[in-house]
Amino acid sequence: MAAQRPENINEIILDTAEELLKVNSFSEVTLAKIAEKANISKGTLYYYYKSKNEILFAVTDRYLSRQWDELIQWTENKEKDTSSHRLVNYVIERNIAYAGLRLHLFDAALLGDEEIRAKLIHRYDEFQKLISAKIAERTDVVSADYFTWLILMVSDGIIIQNSLKNESFDTRKFLENSTEYIKKIENMHKPQ
């Protein structure tokens, strides 16, 4: 009789890969390591994913889908203050929370993986449109498209500074100052 397999092998693979990517570089994670840590055969792993890049993007896609759903849920919650300055903080804090995954994607894309690069750009475009629409619902003080790209670029910059362990950059203080500046700008444009 064949051994029983868990129904959620795909989730086990993705959870294991995500766990390994938190403490290892993408180049250090092999399909063999993922299979061993997930307690599955290499053949089973290969049945689901043919390459590390497929796994990396599946892990990232799962994370981004969660982030997308949470953003929509948060912005549509009428009981929360989802004003512009809070939206900016929400997006940036969520983006930098999973810096490791994003850095692995950047690395693969910058080293010439065209498929990862194209998927990464596609995801940026999707998030830019969603965030831009949410900003446009809240303010018209600045171009929503411009402001969204600014938020995404700031998020990436914070990820890089934190990855460099730049002690002269204080993420918390930066976000607090940003919140105050956004509030001031919005207040300047409120009708008296």
**CATH class for the domain made up of 1-50:** mainly alpha
**CA neighbor of 179 nearest in space, from 97, 98, 99, 91:** 91
Q: Which of 104-113, 145-154, 178-187 has the highest mean pLDDT?
A: 145-154
Give the domain ranges of the chain: 1-50, 57-188
Domain 57-188 fold is Tetracycline Repressor; domain 2 (1.10.357)
Convert 69-85 to b/e letters by CB count within 10 Å (16 or more is b).
eebeebbeeeeeebebb
> Is residue 165 left, alpha or beta, with left meaning phi > 0 and alpha meaning psi from -120 to 50?
left
pLDDT in tens, 81-106: 888 889 999 999 988 887 888 888 88
pLDDT in tens, 14-62: 999 999 988 888 889 999 999 999 999 999 999 999 998 899 889 888 8
The model's pTM:
0.81
Report yes or no: 64 and 122 within 8 Å, Cβ to Cβ.
no
